[in-house]
Amino acid sequence: MPIRTTTLPSGEAVPVLGQGTWHMGEDRSRFAEEVAALRLGLDLGLTLIDTAEMYGNAESVVGEAIAGHRDSTFIVSKVLPSNASRSGTVAACERSLKRLGTDRIDLYLLHWRGGVPLRETVEALEALKAAGKIRHWGVSNFDTDDMEELAALPAGGNCQTNQVLYNLTRRGPEFDLLPWCRQRGMPIMAYSPVEQGRLARGGKLDAIAARHGATAAQIALAWTMARPGVIAIPKAVRAEHIRQNVAALDIKLAPEDLAELDRLFAPPPRRQPLEMI
């Protein structure tokens, strides 16, 4: 079944569920297992894969997984802020392209704010787009003030997404950042939507999960994907977890479920600094 989609400001539809790769490629003995996991995800319709130059050798894992399937995948990667100068961004992108074994990255993000002026990084991203090395660009770990500064730049309106830490235990973005992005038709990408597995444990979600014949992790993921304009990118290597992630798309949380989740994990009453892990 096709994966539900949301739309980038460019008008391109992208899946609301993708595959994360943080920590992949760090253990060479698991390389084949991680490649197989990503390929299973692709077979199940998880065609959006998120990676970064910071994630060790993860880009090489992705490159192996998408070999022969490049045109049906949507690849997201990121440049480190320490590499985000005008020339450094271009060089970092070239290295990522080589590891990925492709001639373009679909969505290239600045991983977080650093010491390089934002204007300079945006100019480099625009140059990469003009050269066909990337199709779109965006940012990651940007708070609302950062997004305002970005939007004020000459090409700042070309930003397509903001990837942030967002899940049931990290609801701060709901107060101002998510509304800011939604007003501009810009989806956010939620990393660690199951809080690195912690939401699957502890028992808080067990009663809701039992009502739906699901796991606690699936409830946490379903809640994230039910938010308008949110793309979830959980990492999974075990086949059963990948299948469970896909099945979470079919979970329809009832109003009473959502009310219970609000009691268990209260929405933010005021603006909070953006969290990162």
CATH classification of the domain holding 242: 3.20.20.100
pLDDT given at position 185 = 97
Note whether residue 215 is domain-resident: no
Task: Report the 10 Å Cβ neighbour count for 91.
Answer: 13
Tens-level pLDDT at each residue, the chain (277 residues): 679 999 999 999 999 999 999 999 999 999 999 999 999 999 999 999 999 999 879 999 999 999 999 999 999 999 999 999 999 999 999 999 999 999 999 999 999 999 999 999 999 999 999 999 999 999 999 999 999 999 999 999 999 999 999 999 999 999 999 999 999 999 999 999 999 999 999 899 999 999 999 999 999 999 999 999 999 999 999 999 999 999 999 999 999 999 999 999 999 999 999 999 8
Note whether residue 276 is domain-resident: no
Nearest-angstrom CA–CA distance, 245 and 234: 8
- Please count the structural domains in the chain: 1
Note whether residue 70 is domain-resident: yes
Nearest-angstrom CA–CA distance, 160 and 177: 14
Q: Do residues 105 and 93 make contact, with C-beta atoms less than 8 angstroms apart?
A: yes
pLDDT given at position 55 = 87
Note whether residue 165 is domain-resident: yes
Which residue, among 22, 72, 5, has the nearest Cα to 234 in the 3D structure?
22
Note whether residue 6 is domain-resident: no
- Give me the domain span that covers residue 28: 13-196+230-247
pLDDT given at position 1 = 65
Note whether residue 56 is domain-resident: yes
Which residue, among 264, 138, 142, has the nearest Cα to 203 in the 3D structure?
264
Q: Is 108 a residue of the active site?
A: no
Q: Do residues 215 and 244 make contact, with C-beta atoms less than 8 angstroms apart?
A: yes
Give Dmax over CA atoms of the chain in angstroms.
Answer: 54
Indicate the pairing of strand 5-7 with strand 13-15: antiparallel
Q: Do residues 184 and 138 make contact, with C-beta atoms less than 8 angstroms apart?
A: no
Note whether residue 174 is domain-resident: yes
Which residue, among 8, 20, 233, 2, has the nearest Cα to 135 in the 3D structure?
8
Which residue, among 276, 275, 184, 265, has the nearest Cα to 224 in the 3D structure?
265
Q: Do residues 104 and 134 make contact, with C-beta atoms less than 8 angstroms apart?
A: yes
Note whether residue 167 is domain-resident: yes
Per-residue tokens: 90? 């271009």
Number of continuous H segments (helices) and E segments (strands) in the chain: 10, 10
Q: Do residues 167 and 193 make contact, with C-beta atoms less than 8 angstroms apart?
A: yes
Which residues on adjacent β-strands are paired with residue 77?
Answer: 108
Nearest-angstrom CA–CA distance, 124 and 116: 11
